[in-house]
């Protein structure tokens, strides 16, 4: 770059872009595997059977799932359209900044990056203590060696839990740095294994009589309680056997479902996807539908096998009853063992669900680094974040920064989870992160008509004379706005560990929102003052692949 900012030729070269260095190595099957993990149906099932009948007692689950799919389809289609029209690294940031305004692109990308870093860091200790630990202890807890090792590593000192969490994070991030293709092989493995595990479990559910399940549960006493004791223990602690759901509890359950099944984040690495339109349609849209089917069938079949009242009481003991909740005995693994009866098969299934959580940990890693990459490519942050290794074709520095932050969060969670967990209103953060794209999609045919008309056929479909993406964009935007309002009316669905939204959790959300709004104006002012560059010029172009 010339030293003299007033040199005549500088404006002509100032914002010329070279290739990003990222390569198209991601296939439709990769996107599909990624969506199955990012949507988290195999995680939603074991958590949903505990939380939905208890935290949202009396909720009509078929109705909640039925409403959720409408918004899921709108979100998925809008993601496919925008990624097909602008197949660039950065996802929501690129879509919003080019179609509407740079600040509109910063809001979702900043909020989603914030949720990614927190989510990755906190999910690893959760995976160890709530999934891997019970999987080993339920099937092989009688083995003193296994019980001692698991108890020491996962439930012993804070340092042990943090050390194991940090090692897992570093290994998965190292794989993402070494090779995007190799990282996706990891994604394929855990997604396929988890899917096979849940199919095996559903097969057992289909052929095992309810009387046999009850008998197995009473014989094994994996929780220390018989079925009748589960009910009486929950009742003594304040659980009621018959509660009629309200509109707010139903909406709260839908928010819970949607929180797991919404997975538009593959758009953040759209520039690396081969045949973006086709691959996103198959992987993103198809993966969302498959995820919804898996979760719906899995949860409804599981609850039907054990009975709604029993699952409500079981979930109450697992999450709310102070005499049993801290024990960790009331996990999905005890129910799995009651269905399959064989501890080895139960271990295979439990390990699959544990891998699904590990996949949910890995899923945001690439998108998080591509957000930093896109900001850097547009000169909002130092250019170091946009550097791509010529050997691995990965943004190693950005991945390293995200890795460092998530390890810090994992440490905080390992030592202070009971305190830290209360402060994050995850539902509100994610809803704010996902809402802007609905508006962007709705306005795409009008604000960027030239790009819309040249977009692949999947993007240009119409209902009469109205672009389909405008209709789905409005459904998407209004739906998320309603979700945000409902969270404020029903704070138990806010995603905080205390079920409270106001105070510190709301302050963190508002601080994040304010930072996302002022980030671009401040970056623009700094860049203009330091090097006489006007960042507004960046948004007059579409960055290259």
What's 348's domain CATH number? 1.20.1740.10
418 found inside a domain: yes
**Phi and psi angles of residue 467, each rounded to the nearest 5 degrees, phi first:** -60, 135
Q: Is 273 helix (H, G, I), strand (E, B) or coil?
A: strand
pLDDT in the model for residue 6: 43
530 found inside a domain: yes
CA distance 480 to 501: 17
Cβ pair 57, 307 in contact under 8 A? no
pLDDT in the model for residue 322: 86
pLDDT in the model for residue 471: 98
4 found inside a domain: no
Single out the residue of 44, 68, 51, 107 nearest to residue 430, CA to CA.
107
Which stretches does DSSP call E strand in 213-325?
Answer: none
| Helix (H) or strand (E) run with residue 104 in it | helix 102-126
Tokens of 114: 């914030």
Residue 239 half-sphere exposure toward CB, CA atoms < 13 A: 30
pLDDT in the model for residue 503: 86
Single out the residue of 333, 448, 339, 415 nearest to residue 85, CA to CA.
448
473 found inside a domain: yes
pLDDT in the model for residue 541: 67
426 found inside a domain: yes
Q: Render pLDDT for 248-270 as a digit per residue (tens, 0 to 9).
A: 888 889 899 988 999 899 999 99
Number of compact structural domains in the chain: 1
121 found inside a domain: yes
5 found inside a domain: no
3 found inside a domain: no
**pLDDT 10s digit of each residue in the chain, 545 long?**
344 444 444 443 344 445 667 888 899 999 999 999 888 899 999 999 999 999 898 899 999 999 999 999 999 999 999 999 999 999 999 999 999 999 999 999 999 999 999 989 988 998 998 899 999 999 998 888 888 999 898 888 889 999 999 999 999 999 999 999 999 999 999 999 999 999 999 999 999 999 999 999 999 888 889 999 999 999 999 998 888 888 888 888 989 998 899 989 999 999 999 999 999 999 999 999 999 999 999 999 999 999 999 999 999 999 888 888 887 788 899 999 999 999 999 999 999 999 999 999 999 999 999 999 999 988 899 999 999 988 888 999 999 999 999 999 999 988 887 666 677 888 899 999 999 999 999 999 999 999 999 999 999 999 999 999 999 999 999 999 999 999 999 888 888 878 888 888 899 999 999 999 999 999 999 988 888 778 888 787 666 55
Tokens of 389: 């290794």
The CA-based diameter of the chain, rounded to the nearest angstrom, is 85
**Phi and psi angles of residue 384, each rounded to the nearest 5 degrees, phi first:** -55, -35
Q: What global pTM score does this model have?
A: 0.90
How buried is 261 (Cβ within 10 angstroms: 0-12 exposed, 13-18 middle, 19+ buried)?
Answer: buried
pLDDT in the model for residue 143: 87
For 131, which DSSP code? Answer: I
| Helix (H) or strand (E) run with residue 463 in it | strand 462-463
CA distance 361 to 373: 20
Range of the domain at 391: 10-540
Place of tokens 């960042």: 535
Residue 335 half-sphere exposure toward CB, CA atoms < 13 A: 26
Tokens of 148: 């001692």
**Phi and psi angles of residue 324, each rounded to the nearest 5 degrees, phi first:** -120, -30
Residues ≥6 apart with Cβ < 8 Å to 131: 46, 350, 353, 354, 357
CA distance 183 to 190: 11
pLDDT in the model for residue 189: 93
Place of tokens 């538009």: 264
CA distance 181 to 26: 7
């Amino acid at each position: 770059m010339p030293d003299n900012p007033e040199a005549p030729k500088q404006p002509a070269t100032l914002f010329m872009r070279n290739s990003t260095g990222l390569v198209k190595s991601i296939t439709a099957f990769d996107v599909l595997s990624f969506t199955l993990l990012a949507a988290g149906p195999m995680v939603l099932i074991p958590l949903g059977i505990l939380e939905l009948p208890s935290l949202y007692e009396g909720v009509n689950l078929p109705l909640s799932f039925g409403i959720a799919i409408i918004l899921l389809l709108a979100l998925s289609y809008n993601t496919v359209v925008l990624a097909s029209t602008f197949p660039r690294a950065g996802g929501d940031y690129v879509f919003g900044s080019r179609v509407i305004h740079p600040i509109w692109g910063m809001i979702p990308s900043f909020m989603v990056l914030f949720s990614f870093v927190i989510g990755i860091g906190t999910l690893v200790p959760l995976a160890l203590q709530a999934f891997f630990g019970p999987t080993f202890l339920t099937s092989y807890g009688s083995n003193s060696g296994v019980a001692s090792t698991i108890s020491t590593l996962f439930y012993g000192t804070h340092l042990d839990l943090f050390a194991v969490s940090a090692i897992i994070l570093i290994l998965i991030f190292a794989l993402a740095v070494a090779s995007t293709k190799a990282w996706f092989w990891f994604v394929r493995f855990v997604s396929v294994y988890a899917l096979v595990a849940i199919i095996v479990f559903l097969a057992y559910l289909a052929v095992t009589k309810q009387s046999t399940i009850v008998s197995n549960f009473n014989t094994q006493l994996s929780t220390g309680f018989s079925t009748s004791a589960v009910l009486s223990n929950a009742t003594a602690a304040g659980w009621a056997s018959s509660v009629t759901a309200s509109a707010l509890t139903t909406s709260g359950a839908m928010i819970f479902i949607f929180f797991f099944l919404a997975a538009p984040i593959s758009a953040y690495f759209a520039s690396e996807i081969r045949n973006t339109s086709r691959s996103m349609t198959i992987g993103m849209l198809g993966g969302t539908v498959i995820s919804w089917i898996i979760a719906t069938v899995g949860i409804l079949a599981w609850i039907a096998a054990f009975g709604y009242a029993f699952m409500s009481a079981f979930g109450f003991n697992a999450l709310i009853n102070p005499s049993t909740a801290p024990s960790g005995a009331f996990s999905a693994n005890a129910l799995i063992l009651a269905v399959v009866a064989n501890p080895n098969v139960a271990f295979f299934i439990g390990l699959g669900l544990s891998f699904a959580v590990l996949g949910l940990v890995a899923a945001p890693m690439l998108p998080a680094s591509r957000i930093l990459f896109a900001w850097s490519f547009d000169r909002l942050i130092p250019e170091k974040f946009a550097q791509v290794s010529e050997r691995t074709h990965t943004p190693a520095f950005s991945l390293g920064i995200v890795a460092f932050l998530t390890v810090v969060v994992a440490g905080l969670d390992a030592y202070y989870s009971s305190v830290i967990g209360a402060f994050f209103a995850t539902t509100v953060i994610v809803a704010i992160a996902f809402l802007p794209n609905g508006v962007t999609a709705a306005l795409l045919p009008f604000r960027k008509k030239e790009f819309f008309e040249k977009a692949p056929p999947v993007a240009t479909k119409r209902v009469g004379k109205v672009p389909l993406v405008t209709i789905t964009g409005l459904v998407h935007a209004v739906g998320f706005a309603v979700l945000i309002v409902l969270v404020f009316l029903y704070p138990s669905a806010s995603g905080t560990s205390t079920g409270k939204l106001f105070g510190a959790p709301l302050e963190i959300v508002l601080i994040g929102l304010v930072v996302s709004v002022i980030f671009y104006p401040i970056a623009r002012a700094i860049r203009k003052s330091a090097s006489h560059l006007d960042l507004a010029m960046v948004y007059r172009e579409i960055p290259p692949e």
